[in-house]
């Protein structure tokens, strides 16, 4: 019996020797995942994405952190303590539209940056980041789904009695007034012919076609789910030869000048110019320049109602007002833990601002009446700071962000 046991021992040793490298090798391949209690937050550098393009997606993973987002780009919670997860923690990504490149990334100071790469598919992309038991989703509108407004203009708006050709331009923008490029715009007309019934928007979100007509025509443009836009090209004698806005596009707080030009020999007795934001001003019988300042970003339709020879005529022109071109700077890009840092908003110019809403990737959130905020950070690593500039009507007129590395 003893001899039998002795003969079995070498076999056990051999089997154990074979299994040990396998176990060790398997352990080497186990990824480092976020521990229990970790909060993942997602941010994107844009609220919408054009077709066949890309946008950066930033994920932060904080142990015992606080959720500072709603699943899109807004902040909803108050400050919370937490520390970045261990360097090298694996965060994985999925998306319902396009691809995430790379689909997995390892953290450095609790943060990773990947890209959402879109193709020709439109819709709302649901992006998910997960590690261990923590996850977070972010939704971005892609392609035609991003189209919120179409503004249609004709140049010229009036043709001679024999008709002619006018250039029809459709400007497609998203909810924030940013151009949506690479999506199809469909044109139709009740009179005349169009050089192209479907045209893709260019890098500036503009699609252009030519209308040739011998009779007054109404042209309609549609893009994605945005409300259809119309413009009229008149044939024959009119009260105005031109109605335009400059600069266009403009920004919040910037003066926009509307030019009202009566046609030669027109018997115009005046009228009213409505700017599209609830304000209006009288038009002189001789026309001229009228200045106006918009207080909120968006797409507006300015309307000139004029009277000529006892009848009323209406002219429209679209105006795109973008957010303020603000930037955010820090008094130090590499402060020490606990050292005060001052963040300053630049570029508001003469715009009227109600308040400034601040959020950070480590869970801080506050509001100031002025364009500067001082705070400090209790942990090392990269921190993302974002500010939303709020106008007098309560709408966000600008957003800016910056990143610092706390030492």
Residues linked to residue 313 through DSSP beta bridges, in sequence order: 306
DSSP 316: E
Q: Is the pLDDT of residue 314 over 80?
A: yes
How many angstroms separate the CA atoms of 387 and 67, rounded?
A: 17
Q: Spell out the residues 6+ positions from residue 311 whose beta carbon is closer than 8 angstroms to its own.
A: none
Taking a C-beta distance cutoff of 8 angstroms, is the pair 142, 49 a contact? yes
How many angstroms separate the CA atoms of 189 and 168, rounded?
A: 11
Q: What percent of the chain has pLDDT over 90?
A: 57
Q: Tell me which residue of 279, 353, 355, 269 sits closest to 313, measured CA to CA.
A: 269
Q: Tell me which residue of 82, 32, 31, 46 sits closest to 61, measured CA to CA.
A: 82
What's the pLDDT score for residue 338? 95
Mean pLDDT of 208-232: 92
Q: How far is CA 369 from CA 327, 352, 356, 373, 377, in A?
A: 17, 11, 6, 10, 22
What's the pLDDT score for residue 235? 78
What's the pLDDT score for residue 310? 66
Least confident segment among 125-129, 238-242, 344-348: 238-242
What's the pLDDT score for residue 72? 42
Residues linked to residue 149 through DSSP beta bridges, in sequence order: 173, 227
How many angstroms separate the CA atoms of 169 and 191, rounded?
A: 17
Q: How far is CA 264 from CA 238, 242, 267, 285, 287, in A?
A: 9, 11, 9, 13, 12
Taking a C-beta distance cutoff of 8 angstroms, is the pair 139, 127 a contact? yes
Q: Is the dihedral of CA 359, 365, 369, 372 positive or negative?
A: negative
DSSP 352: -
Taking a C-beta distance cutoff of 8 angstroms, is the pair 51, 122 a contact? yes
| Residue 223, SS3 per DSSP | coil
| Residue 8, SS3 per DSSP | helix
The Cα angle at residue 213 between residues 315 and 234, in degrees rounded to 5: 20
pTM score of the predicted model: 0.52
How many angstroms separate the CA atoms of 40 and 216, rounded?
A: 58
Q: Spell out the residues 6+ positions from residue 71 whose beta carbon is closer than 8 angstroms to its own.
A: 42, 136, 137, 138, 139
| Residue 15, SS3 per DSSP | helix
Per residue in 88-97, pLDDT (tens digit) is 999 999 999 9
Q: Is the pLDDT of residue 12 over 50?
A: no
Query: Would you list the DSSP string of 125-179?
Result: EEEEEEETTEEEEEEEEEGGGG--EEEEEEESSEE-TT-EEEEEEEEEE-TTS-B
Mean pLDDT of 131-135: 93
DSSP3 helix / strand / coil % (the chain, rounded to 5): 10, 55, 40
Pairing relationship of beta strands 255-262 and 240-246 according to DSSP bridges: antiparallel
| Residue 7, SS3 per DSSP | helix
Runs of H (alpha helix) within 227-268: none
- How many CA atoms lie within 13 Å of 126's alpha carbon, on the beta-carbon side? 4
Per residue in 245-280, pLDDT (tens digit) is 999 988 887 889 999 998 887 778 889 999 999 999
What's the pLDDT score for residue 45? 84
How many angstroms separate the CA atoms of 294 and 297, rounded?
A: 8
Taking a C-beta distance cutoff of 8 angstroms, is the pair 343, 370 a contact? no
Taking a C-beta distance cutoff of 8 angstroms, is the pair 228, 150 a contact? yes
DSSP 107: -
Per residue in 159-179, pLDDT (tens digit) is 765 688 999 999 998 887 888
How many angstroms separate the CA atoms of 304 and 153, rounded?
A: 14
């Amino acid at each position: 019996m003893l001899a039998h046991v002795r003969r079995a021992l070498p076999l056990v040793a051999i089997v154990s020797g074979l299994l040990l490298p396998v176990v060790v090798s398997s352990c080497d391949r186990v990824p480092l995942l976020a521990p229990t209690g970790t909060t993942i937050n997602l941010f994107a550098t844009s609220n919408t994405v054009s077709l066949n393009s890309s946008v950066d997606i930033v994920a932060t993973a904080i142990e015992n952190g606080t959720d500072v987002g709603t699943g899109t780009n807004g902040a909803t919670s108050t400050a919370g303590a937490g520390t970045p997860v261990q360097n090298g923690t694996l965060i994985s990504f999925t998306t319902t539209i396009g691809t995430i490149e790379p689909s997995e990334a390892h953290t450095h100071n609790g943060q990773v940056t990947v890209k959402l790469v879109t193709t020709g598919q439109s819709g709302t992309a649901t992006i998910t980041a997960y590690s261990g038991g923590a996850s977070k989703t972010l939704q971005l509108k892609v392609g035609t789904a991003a189209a919120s407004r179409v503004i249609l203009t004709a140049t010229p708006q009036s043709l001679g009695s024999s008709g002619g050709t006018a250039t029809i331009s459709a400007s497609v923008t998203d909810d924030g007034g940013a151009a949506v490029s690479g999506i199809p715009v469909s044109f139709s007309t009740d009179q005349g012919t169009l050089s192209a019934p479907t045209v893709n928007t260019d890098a500036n979100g503009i699609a252009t076609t030519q209308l040739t007509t011998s009779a007054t025509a109404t042209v309609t443009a549609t893009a994605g789910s945005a409300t259809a836009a119309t413009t009229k090209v008149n044939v024959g004698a009119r009260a105005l030869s031109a109605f335009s806005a400059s600069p266009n596009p403009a920004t919040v707080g910037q003066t926009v000048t509307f030019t009202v030009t009566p046609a030669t020999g027109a018997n115009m007795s005046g009228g009213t110019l409505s700017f599209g934001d609830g304000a209006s001003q009288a038009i002189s019988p001789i026309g001229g320049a009228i200045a106006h300042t918009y207080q909120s970003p968006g797409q507006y339709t300015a309307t000139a109602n004029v009277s000529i020879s006892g009848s009323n005529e209406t002219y429209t022109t679209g105006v795109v007002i973008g957010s303020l071109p603000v930037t955010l700077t820090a008094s130090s890009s590499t402060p020490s833990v606990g050292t005060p840092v001052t963040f300053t908003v630049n570029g508001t110019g003469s715009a009227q601002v109600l308040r400034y809403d601040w959020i950070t990737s480590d869970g801080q959130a506050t509001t100031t009446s002025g364009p500067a905020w001082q705070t400090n950070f209790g942990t090392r690593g990269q921190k993302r700071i974002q500010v939303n500039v709020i106008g007098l009507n309560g709408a966000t007129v600008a957003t800016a962000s910056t990143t610092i590395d706390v030492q």
